[in-house]
DNA sequence: CGGCCGGTTGAGGACCGTCAACTGGCGTGG
DNA sequence: CCACGCCAGTTGACGGTCCTCAACCGGCCG
């Protein structure tokens, strides 16, 4: 069965923070006392964004990063002709706009795909975590690496794979990422995307995406309905996609990787 | 005329460091005394790599980053079938594998395209710079942002542009980046790439790349010969590519962007 | 000399985009 | 209440961009 946020939050304070914490804990063992400052801060900076509304505006020099507590977001670039290209999907537990920490204006915009609950991590908090919670700090930066690796894999997806492989690969990636935070079963997950958004992310037309989805259903029994996906045979889908999830960097960090990146107040 | 490294190095100590320093100085005004530790370190860690040889091996958990002092490199991912996809070109003054700082094993390999002179920046040096040379440290991290932005733009290039636009856009990007370090004239630059490498980076076949280059020559007078490119009409090429270089983040950093990222020793 | 590599050209076809039309669901407003 | 419009999804016909396969050229080097 598919887990939802509310069905698994244990305490009021914990509510909504757990996806990020759960993911970070996969990277590294994190003692509870190190997690408290992060969890508290996320709790205090919660906000809600409506579907289709802008979560992070282009040109916004934030100086803080955005954590998706619940819901899906998409990072996209607005092109000269007004069209948009989706560059990344942000799922619960993901961190958006790591580069905002340097004070750079975002050259992309991030929109909410469905109702999104988010929170912010300030530069100051990151500084404090680097000293007071080095393991948490490391895990956060590991997350940034993972995010870059996903960006690179998207390039490969579009550059080298056929339409069928491409869609299948994206679905496998989303499945793996959602599994990590407990938002997928072994054979399916909630997918709050229209075919147009799926098409955009895969650099295809809507029509061809539609036909490709049909093909995936015929080939591997992939079911799309009512905002959810079900893999009748997950291994078949991964095989079609030639999916290898190593790039997600999900395997545990070597703990002797003793660098603790943090931001110093200047 | 095209400038070469040797023709513009002023002092022996300065030799080969100047491309990085020149680029960083575009981001931010850097006092000479802050630059000394960086320049000295680069000087001490110089190494040379032969054409086609591996500069950074896949799986290598470096803990230090690599600076291209001279020559071109390519970051590429080896796929399951043994083929490779080029993800980025690294030009003189560029920094490779920023993620290596966290101790992550590289999931890509970086090869030298021609003879490459490189140097390393250790985590320890970055820590010291963050304290002793905050402006240099900021500029280095700004460079990392620029590198990520280029990665995103490559996705857009492959996702949304036709073959002609795609090649033209890549050429415009390389031109802008080389101009920044003084390695291009207003109408051309040295291009140490085979058509096969150009094709790979643009996700096209060699044959179609060849025909596209011919088309670019017919449309905009772009000349390819003997490892160099000449734009008869640079503005025409940019127009074909719909090139807008804002994503390169070349405009000067706001100096009130007062975050000083650095790595703390743990 | 022969082999290899990079570049070039041609013919044919596949994959995917374009254009067009139609469906069903949903909310709005007459 | 139904009419209407809009949006997401679906299907078909057609065409173009780009890939595949094949061949050839010139330069370089052993």
Could you read off the pLDDT of A9-62 as tens digits, one per residue?
444 445 566 899 999 999 989 999 999 999 999 999 999 999 999 999 998 777
**CA–CA distance, B198 with B216 (Å, rounded to integer):** 14
- Distances B29 to B32, B147, B254 between C-alpha atoms, Å: 10, 20, 11
Predicted confidence at residue B102, as pLDDT, reads: 82
Per-residue pLDDT tens for B97-151?
Answer: 888 888 788 899 999 999 999 999 998 898 889 889 999 998 998 999 999 999 9
CB contact under 8 Å between A99 and B145, yes or no, is yes
Please give the model's pTM, rounded to 2 decimal places: 0.91
Question: In what helix (H) or strand (E) does residue B165 lie, and over which residues does it extend?
Answer: helix B163-180
Q: Which of A131, A157, A159 is the best substitution to test chain B (most B C-beta atoms within 10 A)?
A: A159
Predicted confidence at residue B99, as pLDDT, reads: 80
Per-residue pLDDT tens for A135-181?
Answer: 999 899 899 999 999 999 999 999 999 999 999 999 999 999 999 99
Q: Strand B54-56: give its sheet, edge to edge.
A: B54-56, B109-112, B73-78, B84-90
Per-residue pLDDT tens for B36-90?
Answer: 999 999 999 999 999 999 999 998 777 889 999 999 999 999 999 999 999 999 9
**CA–CA distance, A194 with A113 (Å, rounded to integer):** 9
Nearest to A46 by CA among A72, A19, A66, A26: A66
Predicted confidence at residue B10, as pLDDT, reads: 44
Predicted confidence at residue A194, as pLDDT, reads: 96
Predicted confidence at residue A16, as pLDDT, reads: 60
Average pLDDT score over residue span A217-240: 93
Predicted confidence at residue A63, as pLDDT, reads: 81
Q: Which of A65, A160, A203 is the best substitution to test chain B (most B C-beta atoms within 10 A)?
A: A160
CB contact under 8 Å between B108 and A152, yes or no, is yes
Predicted confidence at residue B5, as pLDDT, reads: 40
Chain A: give the shortest CA distance to residue B71, in Å. Answer: 23
DSSP helix/strand/coil, B220? helix
**CA–CA distance, A37 with A47 (Å, rounded to integer):** 18
Predicted confidence at residue A214, as pLDDT, reads: 96
**CA–CA distance, B45 with B51 (Å, rounded to integer):** 19
Predicted confidence at residue B98, as pLDDT, reads: 85
Indicate whether B177 pLDDT > 90: yes
Beta strand A73-78 with A109-112: parallel, antiparallel or unpaired?
Answer: antiparallel
Q: How confident is the model at residue A213 (pLDDT cuts 50, 70, 90)?
A: very high
Predicted confidence at residue A130, as pLDDT, reads: 87
Average pLDDT score over residue span A75-102: 93
Nearest CA in chain B to A201: B159
Nearest to A120 by CA among A136, A98, A103, A135: A98
């Amino acid at each position: 069965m598919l887990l939802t946020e509310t069905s698994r939050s244990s305490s009021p304070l914990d509510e909504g923070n757990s996806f990020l914490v759960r993911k970070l804990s996969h990277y590294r063992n994190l003692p509870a006392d190190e997690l408290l400052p992060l969890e508290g801060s996320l709790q205090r900076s919660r906000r809600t964004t409506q579907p289709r509304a802008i979560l992070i505006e282009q040109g916004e020099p934030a100086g803080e990063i955005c954590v998706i507590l619940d819901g899906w977001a998409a990072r996209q670039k607005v092109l000269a002709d007004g069209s948009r290209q989706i560059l990344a999907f942000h799922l619960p537990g993901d961190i958006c706009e790591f580069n905002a920490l340097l004070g750079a204006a975002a050259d992309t915009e991030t929109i909410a795909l469905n109702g999104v609950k988010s929170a912010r991590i300030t530069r100051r908090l990151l500084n404090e975590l680097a000293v007071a919670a080095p393991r948490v700090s490391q895990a956060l930066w590991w997350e940034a690496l993972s995010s870059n690796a996903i960006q690179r894999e998207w390039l490969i997806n579009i550059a080298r794979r056929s339409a069928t492989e491409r869609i299948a690969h994206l679905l496998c990636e989303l499945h793996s990422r959602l599994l990590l935070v407990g938002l997928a079963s072994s054979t399916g997950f909630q997918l709050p995307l229209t075919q147009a958004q799926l098409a955009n992310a895969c650099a295809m037309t809507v029509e061809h995406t539609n036909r490709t989805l049909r093909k995936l259903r015929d080939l591997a029994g992939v079911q799309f309905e009512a905002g959810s996906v079900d893999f009748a045979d997950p291994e078949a889908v991964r095989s079609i996609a030639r999916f290898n999830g190593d790039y997600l960097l999900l395997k545990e960090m070597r703990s002797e990787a003793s660098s603790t990146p943090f931001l110093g107040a200047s």
